[in-house]
Amino acid sequence: MLELTSLKELLADPKQIVITTHHKPDGDAIGSSLGLYNCLIQKGHHVKVVSPTDYPVFLQWLPNNPEVVIYTEKPEESAKYVAEADLIFCLDFNSLARINGLGQHVQESKGKKVLIDHHLEPEDFDDYRYWSINACATAQLVYEFIVNVLEEPQTINKDVATCLYTGIMTDSGSFRFPTTTPRVHHIIADLIERGAENAKIHQLVYDNFSENRLRFLGFCLLRKLEVLTEYNTALITVSRDELHKFNISTGDTEGLVNYALTINGIRLAALIIERADQVKLSLRSTGDFPANEICKKYFNGGGHRNAAGGQSTESLQETIQRFKQILPEYKSLLIQ
């Protein structure tokens, strides 16, 4: 691993830079990426944000969002940017598998890779690393990186502040998860002072859904929620036909799993969704229950202790069965 001081020296002259993040980017992924973008362009760098896939409409209002290139829509152009980059910032992911086909291009590029991330156990593909699992969001680390590594706090203008606020807000569950330390609140105060309009950002992200999405939520809670009291577990399962019926698009299922966790006594919540080519699982847990362990061990995934995800190539019903069969192994942790 190279010293971060040499990265600061590299960035003293204009460079060709790519910023990328995990597939199906969430608020932290896209907020961190555009936050860093809006910082680096002020220093004369040529910067491209390349996202492996598209992302929800409620994240498409961030400053300079039109500058994001989507790999699945423009694969050749994206690959060219990656191949020609001097530096590739890898934000909010810990393994090249998380950026799909783009991973191979990143690996083959001669550009130096800079990992900024807060996920457990990053794989060894980077040259520079700014990493901490204690950060509530990668956007928090981008803030710290700008202040402490680049030593350019004055570049945190309204655009940067808006993006980083969005990343921290979404990944901290609106400042409620245990990772929301006093430091996070100090950073948030600074971002508001620098122009982030907090009330407006909350509204743009959380009150920006279609009528269909709200009705779909009602349907899931009424018909698709199953509570396994014996295991303090609640799950919501959704088939492809149901997604189709409610015209559900990217991002519409975001946050759905959290409703299952609002039931008194529930320690583990699961959302199991049949997507086009595979079944996707989202797990959430409370306290020290290791949701990421289940995802890693049984569903080819991972994540954080209290928020993790994975997938299965089995059918929806088989995946649901398998999930239920795993619960006895964790019963002692679930009924604590």
Which positions touch Mn ion (CB under 5 A)?
28, 92, 138, 171
CB of 20 to ligand 5GP, least distance (A): 16
Q: Which residue is nearest to ligand 5GP (CB)?
A: 309
Check if the beta carbon of residue 255 is closer than 8 Å to that of residue 269: no
Of the pair 28, 86, the CB lying nearest ligand 5GP is at: 28
User: Backbone phi, then psi, for 246, in 5-degree steps?
Assistant: -95, 5
Distance CA 33, CA 29 (A): 6
Q: Among 234, 308, 320, 327, which residue interacts with ligand 5GP (rule: CB under 6 A)?
A: 308
99 in Cβ contact with 22 (< 8 Å): yes
Residue 139: φ, ψ to 5°: -60, -35
Q: DSSP string covering 96-114, please? A: GGGGTTHHHHHHH--SEEE
Strands 279-285 and 307-312: antiparallel
Token couple for 197:
């309009």
Cβ 21 to ligand 5GP, closest distance in Å? 11
Among 224, 311, 314, 322, binds ligand 5GP (CB under 6 A): 311
Q: Which is nearer to Mn ion, 94 or 138 (CB)?
A: 138
In angstroms, the CA 1 to CA 128 distance is: 6
DSSP string, 212-262: HHHHHHHHIIIIIEEEEGGGTEEEEEE-HHHHHHTT--TTTTTTHHHHHHT
User: Minimum Å distance from CB 301 to ligand 5GP?
Assistant: 3
Residue with tokens 């001081």: 5
CB of 296 to Mn ion, least distance (A): 17
Residue 303 binding partner per list ligand 5GP, Mn ion, none, with a CB distance cut-off of 5 to 8 Å that depends on partner kind: ligand 5GP
| Nearest distance in Å: CB 179, ligand 5GP | 12
Nearer to ligand 5GP, 21 or 162 (CB): 21
Q: Which of residues 191-230 bind ligand 5GP (CB under 6 A)?
A: none
Q: Which is nearer to Mn ion, 114 or 327 (CB)?
A: 114
Binding partner of residue 302 among Mn ion, ligand 5GP, none, CB cut-off 5 to 8 Å per kind:
ligand 5GP
Interface residues with ligand 5GP (CB under 6 A) are 119, 282, 301-304, 307-311
